[in-house]
Amino acid sequence: MRGRLGFAAAFTYAARVRAFGFPDCVSGPLANTTVCDASATPTARAQALIAMFTTDELVSNTNVGAPGVPRLGVPAYQAANEALHGIASSPGIVFAASGDFSFATSFPAPLHMSAAFDDPAIKAVGAVISTEGRAFNNAERAGLDYFTPNINPFRDPRWGRGQETPGEDPFRVAQYAYNFVEGLQGGIDPPQFKVVADCKHLAGYDLENPPGTNRFVFDAVISQQDLASYYLPPFQSCVRDAKAASIMCGFNAVNGLPSCADPFLLQTLLRDFWGFNEERWVTADCDAIEFMFDQRHFVPDLAHAAAAGMNAGADLDCGTTYGDNLGAALDMGLVNVSTIARALTRQYASFMRLGYFDPPASQPYRQLSWTDVNTPDAQQLAHQLAADGMVLLKNDGTLPLSPTIKKLALIGPWASATTAMQSNYAGPAPFLISPLAAAQSAGFAVTLEAGTQINSGDTSGFAAAVAAAQAADAVVFAGGIDNSVEAEGTDRTAIEWPGNQLDLIAQLAAVGKPLVVLQFGGGQVDDAVLKANANVSAIVWGGYPGQGGGTAVVDILTGKISPAGRLPVTQYPADYVNQVPMTDMTLRPSSTNPGRTYKWFTGTPTYEFGTGLSYTTFGVSFASPPAASYDIQALVSAGKGSAHIDLVLLDTFSVAVHNTGTVASDFVTLLFVNTTAGPAPFPTKELVSYVRSKGVGAGSTVTAQLPVTLGSIARTDEDGNAWLYPGDYTLLVGVPTEITRSFQLTGNKVQLSHFPASPS
């Protein structure tokens, strides 16, 4: 989200309304009406309310900053609330200058949290955020819906907003979306929503400003096959399975039609195919409706833009185009009053499920307060995910740091970072612990030298940095990238380390002391030089670790916590950016594309998706022998009666995880499948299940249970239909692959889904 100015500047798109409150169902005009009858259905209550609106009142309330209807006791409402990884600064959220409600728990960036591969923890994060959001709402400092999560897969390593996503794999992103939405909304389709989750951005939005284009006018040309198998599974999980109450359509067009004016996306797919019902609503990304006219020139004027969005199914405008122009569109006969009424009915039906119109005494969430914000449990969860999401990429035995190391040279642009650790879409944190502060608290005698900045050619700080390294027992370089080079509105054009950071690291390595490189940021930088340099002792990807990030870093470096995170993206060689333009949306390799993500990349990655080392060693084996074959017709027959055949289990595979070392550690088991069944070309492998086993003691064995669904092993044809194909399949466990097991699917192929045909 965010309109043309980007996150830092854009409070303008909804600034007309910044008010809160609750409807008066006791003594106001709505008392004793169906609107205030808690026994009526949410839709019936919403319909009764919207029927009381005049046409002007309907039109004025179609912006996210809605004035309400004072004569009915319906207060103004601001729908633009942000919470990608904690309650965040946004038009709908009012932080106090100090004291109560001056901050909220600031979790690591989504990409960082995803690297933990811990779904229960993601659900818990959603629960904390919704608790804190409710507390803010009860104090009239926030709304009840949140524009989160961002579930566009991280397709290209240059994308500036990849940090906001759970990574490049659609299966992983889909599981993250499901668990996060469940935590936010208080369950899967609960009778009462805790808050409303809004999954974004439908669809194919994953670039900002590559040379020659920008996100506001870009037309993402995507095949039905790629839409169905890569770009849309996270949204299916969010909508069909997790029952999210809201969806955001994106700036970009898909195959010629702006996403927010595309009936195929907003009606055929979203409502008809996935079952997005009338208690759920779509919001356009901020200024996306306006951009149809003044950026894209898709329509002749703003009235036509407003009508195009509303008629397609974009119920709410994050901007002011609807409120300012739907009246003219009505006069011109471009849209019907009933269509606008339907849009608001959808939004207010979700408000009914939020208890917005109900007495506080009957609403447990209305009792939450400031004491429920940044609790010790929330702080511990933020710390856990900061540490659990860090990934050990290289280690010659230097880590964990020996107790004999007392003097530490802490060098680099991230060494004393605070707010940088929060990533984007953040709000005021209760505290921010830098790597420097954490190292000092851990008892190290620390010499701090920046040495250089993120993207600088200035070498004037090199000498002091080298001198600090020479005087230390060990050297930690903290660098990488940050929001100065990857952000909303800012893609990278190169994926090597920016500026002269590698030059400084080379000089530090030449000193000959133990050297640990902390690589921060969301998008990966090519570590090939560091990987090959024997004097670089260890590399840790530190992501964006949030409020307690410094403590988590030091806990990893000292061995208080053994790393177990896995890369949720591929780390490509630097030359990858010269091999395929960002604007090429295809995934499969071709003469002009080396392939995208670990599934299709035909080159050799610097570090592959799923890489992650530990301070101990593990052995894995199948705890019980997997079946040698499965009959397709028997599988499908057993799944009859299921709401969704793709979610029926193929099997649950049991993998014994044995800690063969001397250190207790978590362990992430990744299960992939590959096959040559179905349409060519064939992916190298595809993630089908994973689990994080907690606290596996030295010498002990645990069993990882890995359920695999029919949908996860299905292949997608050129029309977007998913099929179970007979043929040979191989299970692959681990990165790099540690064990394999082959099985066959026998019988006749079966179609699991009938992807709707695009009118284009």
SS3 state of residue 218: coil
- So what's the pLDDT on residue 19? 55
- CATH fold for domain 618-751: Immunoglobulin-like (2.60.40)
* Token representation of residue 550: 């410094």
Strands 686-696 and 701-709: unpaired
390-600 topology per CATH: Rossmann fold (3.40.50)
Q: Does domain 34-372 have CATH number 3.20.20.300?
A: yes
Q: Which residue did the predictor score with more confidence, 16 or 609? A: 609
pLDDT score at 4: 37
As given in the structure block, the two tokens for residue 13 are 């798109």
Q: What is the pLDDT of residues 34-81, one digit of tens each?
A: 999 999 999 999 999 999 999 999 999 999 999 999 999 999 999 999
CB contact at 8 A, 563 and 541:
no
3-state SS of 316-348? EECCCHHHHHHHHHHHCCCCCHHHHHHHHHHHH
User: Two tokens at 58?
Assistant: 């309907």
- Give pLDDT tens digits for 198-212: 999 999 999 999 999
Arithmetic mean of pLDDT, 280-290: 97
Residue 9: predicted pLDDT: 35
The closest alpha carbon to 205, from 174, 231, 230, belongs to 231
Phi then psi dihedrals of residue 446, to 5 deg: -105, 130
Sign of the CA dihedral with 386 first, then 387, 388, and 392 last:
positive
- Over residues 472-482, the pLDDT tens digits come to 999 999 999 99
pTM of the model: 0.96
Average pLDDT, integer, range 708-723:
97
pLDDT-based confidence at residue 2 (cuts at 50, 70, 90): very low
pLDDT of 101 higher than 90: yes
Contact (CB, 8 A) for 350 and 279 = yes
Strands 649-659, 474-480: pairing is unpaired
For the ranges 87-91, 299-303, 309-313, 360-364, the lowest mean pLDDT is seen at 360-364
The pLDDT of residue 760 is: 62
Neighbours of 152 (CB within 10 A): 26
Boundaries of every domain in the chain: 34-372, 390-600, 618-751
Confidence of residue 8 (pLDDT cuts 50, 70, 90): very low
Give the per-residue pLDDT at 7. 37
Question: Which residue spans within 303-443 are E strands per DSSP?
Answer: 316-317, 391-395, 407-411
Can you give the pLDDT at residue 696? 98
**Structure confidence at residue 296 as a pLDDT band (50, 70, 90):** confident
Extended beta strands in 428-473, E state: 445-449
Provide the 10 A C-beta neighbour count for residue 662. 10
Tokens at residue 441, please? Answer: 């608290």
Q: Residues for the chain: how many in total? A: 760
Confidence of residue 758 (pLDDT cuts 50, 70, 90): confident
Question: What's the pLDDT score for residue 530?
Answer: 98
Range 370-378 average pLDDT: 98
Residue 358 scores a pLDDT above 80: yes
Residue of 285, 358, 482, 527 with catalytic role: 285
| Catalytic residue status for 301 | no
Share of the chain above pLDDT 90, in %: 95
